């Protein structure tokens, strides 16, 4: 670096020091810190319709398989981190493929004004994306991108609220270039119990 550039850099750092020093030395009392913690977004209350213990059944069509797999399983969705994140842990039997476990995490993204979602499962897939809820049709629309054990993937799904304790869902998955479909799933989930919901 040239000598002139070093001089300019030093002047810039020196001029910024008073500002940085003032920020670092700013004193906060406990009440001020409490005020800085935002309240949970009211949009999170929509996720209450997913809370509880569920029993699920469905069909799974997978690339390379001639016949669809019949799946059955259970899941439990509960609030975490003082009602700011919803975690949904599931356990399924996928026919001859055997058991699979998975976990999704939901929250409200205040920047994008959408619900943010992450997915992880025992087959090695990880994905993240966004979800929106259509009031008129009582349906969640979900889009994620991620990677399974052998390629990048794009997924789209829906969760339709049939009634207070019944959800009808679909899930379709393609390769990352959207050239071929990897999987096509659909089924129904019935709520058995409700463990916890957000405080109104």
The enclosing domain of 163 has a CATH number of 2.40.128.20
pLDDT at 26: 62
Mean pLDDT within 184-194: 95
Give dist(CA 128, CA 152) in Å, integer.
12
E strands in 19-124: 52-62, 69-80, 85-94, 99-109, 114-121
> Domain total for the chain?
2
17 and 91 co-located in one domain: no
Confidence band for 34, pLDDT divided at 50, 70 and 90: confident
Give dist(CA 84, CA 110) in Å, integer.
12
Residue 168 tokens, joined: 């009808």
Rounded percentage of the chain residues whose pLDDT exceeds 70: 83
Within-domain flag for 109:
yes
Q: What pTM did the predictor assign?
A: 0.82
107 and 87 co-located in one domain: yes
Confidence band for 103, pLDDT divided at 50, 70 and 90: very high
33 has a pLDDT exceeding 90: no
Domain extent at residue 115: 42-193
Within-domain flag for 199:
no
H/E run at residue 185: strand 181-193
């Amino acid at each position: 670096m040239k000598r002139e550039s070093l001089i300019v850099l030093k002047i810039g750092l020196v001029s910024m020091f008073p500002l940085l020093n003032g920020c670092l030395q700013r004193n906060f009392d406990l009440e001020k810190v409490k005020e800085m913690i935002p309240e949970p977004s009211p949009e999170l209350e929509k996720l209450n319709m997913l809370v509880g213990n569920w029993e699920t059944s469905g069909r799974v069509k997978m690339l390379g398989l001639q016949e669809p797999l019949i799946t059955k399983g259970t899941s439990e969705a509960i609030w975490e981190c003082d009602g700011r994140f919803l975690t949904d842990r599931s356990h399924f039997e996928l026919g001859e493929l055997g058991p699979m476990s998975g976990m999704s995490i939901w929250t409200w993204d205040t920047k994008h004004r959408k619900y943010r979602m992450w997915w992880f499962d025992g087959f090695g897939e990880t994905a993240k994306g966004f979800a929106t809820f259509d009031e008129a049709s009582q349906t969640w629309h979900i889009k994620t991108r991620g990677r399974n054990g052998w390629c990048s993937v794009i997924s789209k799904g829906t969760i339709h609220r049939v009634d207070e304790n019944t959800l009808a869902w679909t899930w379709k998955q393609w390769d990352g270039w959207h050239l071929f479909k990897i999987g096509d799933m659909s089924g129904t989930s019935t709520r058995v119990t409700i463990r916890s919901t957000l405080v109104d």
